[in-house]
A and B are shown apart, each in its own frame.
Chain A
Amino acid sequence: MEKEIKLDHITKIEGHASLILKIDNNKVIKCSLKAVEGSRYFEGIVKNRMFYEAPEITSRICGVCSCAHTLCSIFAMENALNLEVSDQTIKLRKLLNWGERIRSHATHLYFLSLPDFLGYESALAMVPKYRREIEIALKLMKIGNRIVSLIGGRDLHPVSAQIGGFLKYPGKQDLNEISSLLKECKVYAIKTIELFSRLSYPEFSRDVSCFSVYNDDEYGMFNGRIRTHNKDYNKEDYKNYLKEYHEKSSTSNFVVKESKGYRVGALPRINISCHLLHKEAKRYSKLIKLPNHNPFKNNLAQAIEILHAIEECISITNNMEIKEESFKKPKLVNGHGVAAIEVPRGTLWHEYIIKNKKIVYCNIITPTAQNLRSMEDDIRAFLPSVIKLKKEKIVLETEKLIRSYDPCFSCSTHFLNVRWI
């Protein structure tokens, strides 16, 4: 008997995705996952604009990851124009990035993922029975947002982080506030890990290349090379090993590494850099058998990253003395720069070519575009284990898998016009 499952019109945070499955005689004969987001053409929009306008403009690609795009464009521009910034600037950028990691993971874990596992339609519906859990979520989101706004000037689309430095510095009082909030929130991070370690994850594993920025000194962040399970790569020549391609019907790029899908995000990062986690986070990382290739476990990996982020921010803000610094101004007016940094959902790439201070070329690769290929392959491999269930259950389990990746359209999988044919 042939069944076709069409998950059409998956609206979300950043757009829409659709999934078409064809099953015949309990075999998957078609599986195609498409982003159908309305196109905004950011890479064209920044063309002919001044190089220093890119952070402000590209930030608008994503709300929850606005610091990610701001920072990645800044790093790419500094790489292009050969600009070195101070240690203090790097520290403040790290706080921005970790603050964003905390709020993004907390939002995904509690508002998008958890309702699936507890059998609720939404986090809002969980409030009567799980008020405490939702309050923990809100506390973690708040500390993340507070860090971002005290360092970046605003929680969404930060304003003070710029090429060459910061327009405004946090005061002593701001740092004290961050540091006391962090200490208060550590227990919530631990509770989050405990909660997500108790959930029942489907037994599923597919050995796919993990991918993350790596350096020996710290857990995946800004600097370093690209590391996969068996090989390191240079960022600058990414076009030699990554290939972007369009599926005819999708509005997002798919990206493959040496013709194969790969995974980016919290679980791949922990697989690659678990030895660099802070003490407590490292202890809890034993809850995941590493290396791990079960994409559902990305949820638990995110919970562990929240704890690491809090420990890392505590260590950065500890004894931090802020000095007012003058801005570093680039001397060059032409250049070519690439940056790849770790952001909540994985590795983010920005590349620019600057001629006479103007942007003449821009290429941006988002984490979700890199995960799409392997998400689709995972769905194909996972389906046989649920194929005999009722259609509704197949849909739920498939959505759970898609959401575990925390794709930029994961939230929209809460809005499926399911057409059974």
Chain B
Amino acid sequence: MKKLKIGFYGITGCAGCQLSVIFEEDELLDIINLIEIQAWPFIKELNYDKKFDYIFMEGLVADNEDKGILLKLRANTRFMVALGACAHTGCIPAYRHFTLKENYAHLLYEKKENIKDIDPNPIDSFVKVDYIIPGCPPDKNEIRSFIKDIVRDIIPKPYNNPVCVECKRNNNSCLLDNKKPCLGPITRGGCNSVCTNNGLECWGCRGPTDDSQIKIMVDLLINQKHDKKMIKDRLVTFSGTKMPEVKRFVYGKRD
């Protein structure tokens, strides 16, 4: 059988998502046997950048170079996979949309003539995305089973239950009951509730579930007397681009 032609790429990001693939220490050598890795600039010198079956794209679009690379690669692949939160939601770098310009204006400076910042956005703002492997970092099991699915020609199914389902199954006590601003109820699970297992409230890195009730989440946190600005900031830190209505829900007005 012909092996699938795969590319792993990174635009602006932290490389953690690509490392999540490399850090499959026990299975890496088996996984790379299942597929043909045509390009992986992070660890390969020779990269053939055409006619891919799947491209796993880490990172968000933060400048015109990122955009150019993304558009070019999209034209050369059958399927585009957003690997990790930056590609999926823009992650923390896209939080810049929701903060004051004066917070970072002093950091802006002139770049190489042909590089220009553009508004930080996830890759689906620019190209069609076929699959999402969410999370910051993405879950290693999910990456592994995704690759095993596609080589067997099975369509990978996205996980759409909230984090609470796995969190309950793991017998954790509810952090919302302890007045922690946990976003588990509105956040897509599939991470085995790794943060709440360790006592940290969910920050929503995997984006909202399809049927998330963001207004109810906001009202609950307001009822628990959390500071409104803190609620707004938390909700948009990792996945703000996927929850444009947050500000209105928190402050009760459109602006």
Residues of A participating in the B interface, judged by any CB pair closer than 8 Å = 9, 11-16, 18, 34, 36-45, 47-50, 53, 56-57, 60-64, 66, 103, 107, 111-112, 115, 121-125, 127, 131, 134-135, 138-139, 141-142, 145, 153-157, 159-160, 162, 167-168, 246, 248-251, 411-412, 414-415
Docked-complex contact B20 and A156, CB < 8 angstroms: yes
In B15-57, which residues have CB < 8 Å from any A CB? 15-20, 22-23, 25-26, 28-29, 32, 37, 40-47
The residues of B that contact A48 with a CB separation of less than 8 Å are: 99-100, 103
The residues of B that contact A103 with a CB separation of less than 8 Å are: 23
Docked-complex contact B15 and A62, CB < 8 angstroms: yes
Closest B residue to A146 by beta carbon equals B25
Docked-complex contact B103 and A112, CB < 8 angstroms: no
Docked-complex contact A39 and B62, CB < 8 angstroms: yes
Jot down 25 A-B pairs with beta carbons below 8 A, ordered by A. Answer: A11-B10, A13-B10, A14-B13, A36-B112, A38-B12, A38-B61, A38-B65, A40-B62, A41-B93, A41-B96, A44-B105, A45-B92, A53-B233, A57-B237, A60-B91, A62-B14, A62-B15, A63-B19, A64-B15, A66-B16, A124-B43, A125-B44, A411-B43, A412-B42, A415-B41
Given A127-B29, A155-B23, A160-B199, are A45 and B136 also a contact pair (CB < 8 Å)? Answer: no
B216 contacts A by Cβ under 8 Å:
no
**Distance (whole angstroms) from the CB of B101 to the closest CB of chain A:** 9
Closest B residue to A44 by beta carbon equals B104
Given A60-B14, A60-B91, A111-B43, are A154 and B111 also a contact pair (CB < 8 Å)? Answer: no
Docked-complex contact A156 and B16, CB < 8 angstroms: yes
B195 contacts A by Cβ under 8 Å:
yes
Cα distance, A16 to B32, chains bound together (Å): 25
In B171-200, which residues have CB < 8 Å from any A CB? 194-195, 197-200
**Distance (whole angstroms) from the CB of A328 to the closest CB of chain B:** 15
Docked-complex contact B12 and A37, CB < 8 angstroms: yes
Given A47-B104, A251-B111, A415-B41, are A168 and B198 also a contact pair (CB < 8 Å)? Answer: yes
**Distance (whole angstroms) from the CB of B243 to the closest CB of chain A:** 17
Docked-complex contact A43 and B107, CB < 8 angstroms: yes
The residues of B that contact A14 with a CB separation of less than 8 Å are: 13-15
Cα distance, A303 to B92, chains bound together (Å): 34
Give the residue of A9, A131, A168, A246 whose beta carbon is less than 8 angstroms from that of B199. Answer: A168
B115 contacts A by Cβ under 8 Å:
yes
Docked-complex contact A121 and B46, CB < 8 angstroms: yes
In B202-226, which residues have CB < 8 Å from any A CB? 203
The residues of A that contact B99 with a CB separation of less than 8 Å are: 44-45, 47-48
Docked-complex contact B43 and A123, CB < 8 angstroms: yes
